[in-house]
Amino acid sequence: MTATTDGSTGALPPRAASASDTTRITTPEAAGAPQAAERAMRRATDFLLSRQDAQGWWKGDLETNVTMDAEDLLLRQFLGILDEATVGAAALFIRGEQREDGAWPTFYGGPGDLSATVEAYVALRLAGDAPDAPHMARASAWVRERGGIAAARVFTRIWLALFGWWKWEDLPELPPELLYFPKWFPLSIYNFGCWARQTIVPLTVVSAKRPVRPAPFPLDELHTDPADPNPPRPPAPLASWDGVFQRLDKVVRGYRSVAVRRLRRAALNSAARWIIERQENDGCWGGIQPPAVYSVIALYLLGYDLEHPVMRAGLESLDRYAVWREDGARMIEACQSPVWDTCLATIALADAGLPADHPQLVKAADWMLGEQVVRPGDWSVRRPELPPGGWAFEFHNDNYPDMDDTAEVVLALRRVRHHDPERVENAIARGVRWNLGMQSRNGAWGAFDVDNTSPFPNRLPFCDFGEVIDPPSADVTAHVVEMLAVEGYAHDPRTRRGIEWLLAEQEPEGSWFGRWGVNYLYGTGSVVPALTAAGLPTDHPAIRRAVTWLERVQNDDGGWGEDLRSYQDPGRWSGRGASTASQTGWALLALLAAGERGSRAVERGVEWLARTQREDGSWDEPYFTGTGFPWDFSINYHLYRQVFPLTALGRYVHGEPFANQAVKPRPAHQPATPAAEAGTG
């Protein structure tokens, strides 16, 4: 095997690779796949039941990368509230994530990332680590070899500019007047994905104010030439979009010097109002950490002191993203996923044979019913007449419910025999109506918004931190189609348009791209069950191509895995990687839905799950199989390794859920045609 310039392995992984070789059970069940599946399913069921919160929800840790931890420390340094216990615990975690070559990756086993390494290094300097310490010297040398701070992403340099380690003049301009662009304008804030929108609005305040706190130390060791730390970047060709937007940025910079003060003050006040209106009841913003961090900074710059109720609630919400580990280390979650984890856990347990009226399933349903969003959010800018009714991903996020959670919650509720069936039916009806109303023009569904497909936001100079728009994706569309089929909408014109879109999106070799999970295994594991639930026969050419692809990429050990590098190099990495429990579960879900229960591929996958299960019924999975932004921001959902294997084992043992009613008649509570659906115009 050869090493690439970033120190990562350049060759493909061995076919027999697996997630863990130390804690798994090494003796396979001698009696064969069915008996092995039964035993593994029972133990996994017991394990998952033991992890439910008393209120009814499940939540696994959501692990990302050390930029969350570094930026948390930088925020506290900026506000003057950094304490010794916090910095020590965060530094312990950050040091533990460093690679041998001195860099920090953005996912387990991945290559070093320049921006993550710069931010981690600065955080450790704040913790008192000396620049000549061996681990620090390796990190700074690695950074210099790759262009230094000047080559880092814009967001990293914004953090450094807060302390004078970078010049504000050498950053793209982001005027607060952006809020006044009408919603139809290509660069309206509503043409950004909700996660980007929530970040950009407070950053317009930061960009306008350009604050600088005294730097506690210099960072000369992170520049290729300390005498010229801010070298100009070469201009892009004028004929390219990048060139156009670079020159547009120069125009905006010129506007800064002539901006009408009255208009600028009004824009800043509008930004403050926009931010405060979107603060959730628990103090967070959108249930995710980055917008909360930038919102706190923006309001602080606008004169909100740390004892103001909005600021107190915001800072308290940031503390809830901290996960304290047994060794004393402190990891910051970028987000928390209780609704998503709870609906997936409910589906897994029900499909594994837990009685539909089991008290823990009923408790989970009660909690999910209480989480339905019943007020309009930013999505209503494009669907003003559509009544609310979706579910969000997090504990508190009434502004941004999403199609994915809504579809899966409906599928979960449909599996539970609740003591108040009328309440359940009403909630499901609202959720179905909302999902139908959020269909995009092309027949598919995005995650949070309708027709969020403008090509311009991604071209802006400051948008180099990952995906900033929310176009429809195969995995989200598949979950909605599956839900609609179960709810009796398999033959509805809207569902059929979604199916046609999915069929057109299939890759030539038979897989589907996974936007919110890694990657082609996730897309395929989502789409095939949706298509068969909607009535496509298992001998349909698209289904057979998917089966052939899954059989071809199965690892020699019987499992499936896919590395995040498939987002950058699908030709080499599509469906290739060390076997993991979650990705093996996805592959099995697709094969079982395609009628392959008795195939050798399925039996080998089931045997792999049984063989690698721990004694307590869990699985080990250090690999990142969740996706925030393809390649740029990756996630290890710690509950994925439990819910997807259990769902697959349950369907292997008990058969497909709703097998006898997948194309049932339309329920009376829903309209029959798109024209009858409020807000779908």
| Catalytic center residues | 404
Record the tokens describing residue 60, joined without a space: 């696994």
- The answer to whether residues 358 and 650 touch, using CB atoms and an 8 Å cutoff, is no
Strands 633-637 and 626-629: antiparallel
Pick left, alpha or beta for residue 516 (phi over 0 → left; psi -120 to 50 → alpha; otherwise beta).
alpha
179-187 long-range contacts, CB within 8 A, separation 24+ = 179/204, 179/267, 179/270, 179/271, 179/274, 180/267, 180/270, 183/381, 183/382, 186/454, 186/456, 187/454, 187/456, 187/457, 187/460
Total residues found in the chain within this entry:
681
535-542, Cβ contacts within 8 angstroms, sequence gap of 24 or more: 535/485, 535/490, 535/491, 535/662, 535/663, 536/499, 538/593, 538/594, 538/595, 542/503, 542/506, 542/510
The CA angle 145-240-176, to the nearest 5 degrees, is: 80
How many whole angstroms separate alpha carbon 649 and alpha carbon 588? 8
**3-class SS of residue 634:** strand
End-to-end C-alpha distance for the chain, whole angstroms: 55
Ranges assigned E (strand) in 275-399:
322-324, 330-332
The whole-angstrom separation of Cα 345 and Cα 412 is 9
Report the C-alpha gap between 529 and 548 in whole angstroms: 15
The span from the CA of 528 to the CA of 537, in Å, is 11
d(CA 630, CA 466): 8
- Give all strands (DSSP E) within 623-673, no chain letters: 626-629, 633-637
Q: Return the SS3 of 577.
A: coil
* Residue with token string 């390649």: 631
